[in-house]
Amino acid sequence: MIVALLVAAAAVADPLPSWTDGAGKKSIIDFVDRVTREGSADYLASRERIAVFDNDGTLWIEQPMYVQFAFALDRIKTLAPLHPEWRTTAPFKDVLNGDSKALLSSGTHALLQVIAGSHSGMSTEDFSTIVGSWLATAKHPRFQRPYTSLAYQPMLELLDYLRSQGFKTFIVSGGGVEFMRVFAEQVYDIPPEQAIGSSAATKFVAVGTNGKPALLKEPQIEFVNDGPGKPSGINRFIGRRPVLAFGNSDGDLQMLQWTAGGAGPSFVALIHHTDAEREYAYDRNSTIGKLDKALDEAQRQRWLVVDMKRDWQPIFAEYQGAR
What amino acid is encoded at 284 in this protein?
Answer: R
Q: Do you know the residue count of the chain?
A: 323
Residue 2: the pLDDT is: 57
* DSSP H or E stretch at residue 51: strand 50-53
Question: Residue 241: left (phi > 0), alpha (psi -120 to 50), or beta?
Answer: beta
* Closest to 167 (Cα-Cα) out of 14, 255, 35, 30: 35
Residue 11: the pLDDT is: 47
Asked whether the whole model's pTM tops 0.85, one would answer yes
Residue 198: the pLDDT is: 92
Residue 6: the pLDDT is: 46
Q: CA torsion sign, 177 to 178 to 180 to 183?
A: positive
Residue 210: the pLDDT is: 77
Q: Are 160 and 188 in contact (CB under 8 A)?
A: no
User: Number of helices (H) and strands (E), helices first, in the chain?
Assistant: 13, 7
Residue 221: the pLDDT is: 85
Grouped pLDDT means (10 residues each) for the chain, 323 residues: 48 89 98 98 98 98 94 93 92 90 75 85 94 98 98 98 98 95 98 95 84 90 92 97 98 98 97 98 95 98 98 93 57
**Domain annotation for the chain: domains and CATH numbers:** 17-311 (3.40.50.1000)
Query: How far is the C-alpha of 159 from the C-alpha of 93, rounded, in Å?
Result: 41
Q: Are 249 and 54 in contact (CB under 8 A)?
A: yes
Using only the alpha carbons of the chain, give its radius of gyration.
21
